[in-house]
Structure 1
Amino acid sequence: MMLDLLFPNRCLHCNKIIEPDLLVCNLCFSQIHFTHYDYFTNNPIKEKCRLAFPVENTYALLQFEKESLSRKIIHELKYRGREKTGRVLAEWITDRLDFKDQKPDLMVSVPLHPKKLRERGYNQLHVFTETLSAYYGIPFDHELIKRNNYSKAQALKDKQHRLESDKTFSLNKSVSGKHILLIDDVFTTGNTVSSIAWEILKTGNNKVSILVMAMDL
């Protein structure tokens, strides 16, 4: 309570004091660019994924334009230690996404390399994934995928290096006959989800769908 008085939660956009569990005020919320994609029908992410691997369904919550509020929200989560942002983003998704009678069997988030995890102190996708899991009643597994190589953030790489990630990921255990929802923060080239998807697809009769916080296409 005292910390809330000394350091009140402020809107990420206008700096107005807001409730502790919010990211932006009501006025600034209207400036967030949501994609309004349909999970089951065609969208730009699905089109791009299908060029690289067999994908079932795809969904992105936000547009990730340069200098946008959406980009600022994701950066708060990834680089400024605001882990609760993942819970808020997940709640925004539950307001918009209905799996109907085609729920995936398992949720898996893109892992960090152990060194990056120690540097950051948390995986920005874990709270997000766990919140979605609790709402939809879909189990999650943070240990299924292993990141083998330590590398700098995708946002800091040039395009060529983003495309060079062969054997970046591997499976820690076998999985078969599952429809896996692969979760990432930002979809750019699609190289990361493609690398993981092939590891999942080649091990058994599995299917992969993609869900991301934001898309940068």
Structure 2
Amino acid sequence: MMLDLLFPNRCLECNRIIDADLAVCNLCFSHIHFTHFDFSGNNILKERCLLLFPVAHAFALMQFEKENISRKIVHELKYRNREKIGKMIAGWFPQYLDFKGHQPDLLVSVPLHPRKQRERGYNQLHAFTDALSDLYGIPADHGLIKRNHYSKAQALKDKQHRLQAENTFSLTRSITGKHILLIDDVFTTGNTLATIAWEILSEPGNTVSVLVMAMDE
């Protein structure tokens, strides 16, 4: 209580004092660029995914434009030790996401390498994914996929590193005949999601959909 009085939580955009569980005030929330994508139909995220791997459905909640509010919110979640922002973002989804009969069987978030997770102290996607699991009644599995290398695959350039990047992720157990929703914070190149998707699709009968908090330009 004393810390809240001395260091009140402030809106990331306008600096107004707000509730401790929020990231932006109501006025600034109204300025967030939500995509209004249809999970069951076609959208630009699905088109971008299809260039990399077979995807059944795709959904991004927000646009990740330069200097906009969504970028500030996601960066606060990832780099400022505010894991509970993930739960807050998940709470926005029921207003914008309806699976319309295409509900996945399992939620799977992109894993961090164990070393990276120890350094950060948490995986920014876990609280978010668990909250979505509760909201939609879909089980989540944080252990299905493991990251095998600490280095960032997208930054690796030479042949040896490209070969290593192909094995960045692996399944920890066999899974078949499931519709799996892959979850990440931001879709940029899509390389990370593609690598994981191909691992899942290598098992018989699986289909993959994608959900991200935000999609980069």
Distance 1:197 1:143, change over 3 A: same
Residue 211 of structure 2: SS of its match in structure 1? strand
User: Which residue identity does 1:194 align to in structure 2?
Assistant: A
User: Which residue identity does 1:168 align to in structure 2?
Assistant: T
Q: Deviations over 1:147-202 (max 9, x none)?
A: 01112496xx49x68x9431110000010010000000110111111000000000
Q: How does 1:65-80 map to 2 (within 5 A)?
A: 65-80=65-80
User: Which residue identity does 2:148 align to in structure 1?
Assistant: N
User: Which residue identity does 1:214 align to in structure 2?
Assistant: A
Residue 210 of structure 2: SS of its match in structure 1? strand
How far apart in 2 are the matches of 1:153 and 1:63? 24
How far apart in 2 are the matches of 1:33 and 1:153? 29
Q: Which residue of 1 aligns with 2:117?
A: 117
Q: Deviations over 1:2-48 (max 9, x none)?
A: 22222211101111101122111111112211111111111111111
Relative to structure 2, which stretch is displaced further, 112-121 or 20-29? Answer: 20-29
Unaligned runs of 5+ in 1: none
User: Which residue identity does 1:72 align to in structure 2?
Assistant: K
User: Which residue identity does 2:60 align to in structure 1?
Assistant: A
Q: Deviations over 1:39-82 (max 9, x none)?
A: 11111111111122111000001111111111111100011111
How far apart in 1 are the matches of 2:101 and 2:46? 20
Q: Which residue of 1 aligns with 2:37?
A: 37
Q: How does 1:55-66 map to 2 (within 5 A)?
A: 55-66=55-66
Aligned length in residues = 213
Aligned residues of 1:110 and 1:184 also touching (Cα < 8 A) = yes
Residue 192 of structure 1: SS of its match in structure 2? helix
Q: Following superposition, which runs of at least 4 residues in structure 1 exceed 4 angstroms of deviation?
A: none
Check if 1:18 corresponds to 2:18.
yes
Residue 140 of structure 1: SS of its match in structure 2? coil
Unaligned runs of 5+ in 2: none
User: Which residue identity does 1:124 align to in structure 2?
Assistant: Q
How far apart in 2 are the matches of 1:214 and 1:97? 13
Check if 1:143 corresponds to 2:143.
yes
The alignment's TM-score, normalised by the length of structure 1, stands at 0.93
Deviation at 1:84, TM superposition (A): 0.9
> How high is the sequence identity, in percent, across the aligned residues?
67
User: Which residue identity does 2:61 align to in structure 1?
Assistant: L
Aligned residues of 1:94 and 1:132 also touching (Cα < 8 A) = no
Q: CA-atom RMSD, angstroms?
A: 1.7
Aligned residues of 2:108 and 2:181 also touching (Cα < 8 A) = yes
Q: How does 1:98-137 map to 2 (within 5 A)?
A: 98-137=98-137
How far apart in 2 are the matches of 1:73 and 1:135? 21
User: Which residue identity does 1:80 align to in structure 2?
Assistant: R
The alignment's TM-score, normalised by the length of structure 2, stands at 0.93
How far apart in 2 are the matches of 1:42 and 1:34? 16
